[in-house]
Amino acid sequence: MTTYDFTGRTAVVTGGSRGIGHATATLLAASGADVFLTSRKQDAAEAAAAQITTELAGLAGAGSVTGLAGHVADPDAAESVCATAVARTGRLDVLVNNAGTNPAYGPVADQDPALVAKVFEINVTGPTIWTRAALTAGLGAEETGAIVNICSIGALTMEDGIGVYNASKAALLHLTEQLARELGPAVRVNSVCPGVVRTRLSEALWKEHEAAVAAGSPLGRIGEPADIADAVAFLASPTSSWITGSNLVVDGGELVGTVGK
């Protein structure tokens, strides 16, 4: 595990009960941050926090992990989680807008408008809600603020079957750049665009045909949550202090590897 220096810093990670958010919370805490991770369910959040705490026990310099319930589209939950983080640690430095969903499969024109609205509520409105709450709670007060939005390579290309999801991630990519303009210099805002990563959300994309998906990428494998966590930690850390409004594609070369094959 590559660690960065988050000693004395506080991070909120939405959707940290499993997958990419869980790996990110683990790495940030291993790197010294006090991490507040969320789930829709208190027990799932607490279980994830307890599991990471056990994993990091004895690691010199590790921070703490706290699990809190909070639906990503609930402004009250966002305010409560961010306020709790500041009440307990005195500061807020990092927000990782990770929670996302993809319930809409098939051609865009076939989708129920309510489902389209749901995708955008979670994947686009959600990050604006948590950004607002984090700023209100004091993100960037010490000019160390960093927001990392988890987008997708689907934001950068066309794919059959998940067009609504990809449009929502394209919107989040645009918001990343807009927020970088609005929030500097106190807060840097960047995004990560993962390719196919081994998580529950993306099972339909890899579970039955992992070898074929892996073969389409120059690096010959699908991603693991830790691959994305490394990129998030870099963009959230002081190591990237002159980077804002940028996007980091972390896809094993999937985008460049599949065209024309």
Ligand X SMILES: NC(=O)c1ccc[n+]([C@@H]2O[C@H](COP(=O)([O-])OP(=O)(O)OC[C@H]3O[C@@H](n4cnc5c(N)ncnc54)[C@H](OP(=O)(O)O)[C@@H]3O)[C@@H](O)[C@H]2O)c1
Residues annotated as catalytic are: 165
Question: Cβ 135 to ligand X, closest distance in Å?
Answer: 19
What is the chain's alpha carbon radius of gyration, rounded to the nearest angstrom?
Answer: 17
Handedness of CA 97, 250, 245, 103 (dihedral sign): negative
Question: Cβ 176 to ligand X, closest distance in Å?
Answer: 13
User: What residues line the site for ligand X (CB under 6 A)?
Assistant: 14-21, 38-41, 44, 71-72, 98-101, 122, 150, 152, 194, 196-197, 199-202
Question: Cβ 72 to ligand X, closest distance in Å?
Answer: 4
What span, in angstroms and rounded, lies between the C-alpha atoms of 238 and 9? 11
Which has the closest alpha carbon to 233: 17, 24, 8?
A: 24
Question: Cβ 126 to ligand X, closest distance in Å?
Answer: 7
Residue 61: how many CA atoms within 13 Å on its side-chain side?
A: 11
Cβ count near 202 (within 10 Å): 21
Q: Is the peptide bond before 185 cis (omega within 30 degrees of 0)?
A: yes
- The Cα-based distances of 259 to 157, 160, 254, 255 in angstroms read 11, 14, 9, 7
Handedness of CA 100, 105, 107, 112 (dihedral sign): negative
Question: Cβ 36 to ligand X, closest distance in Å?
Answer: 13
- Comparison of 177 and 210: residue with beta carbon closer to ligand X: 210
Reported residue count of the chain is 261
Look up residue 107 and give its two tokens: 């051609």
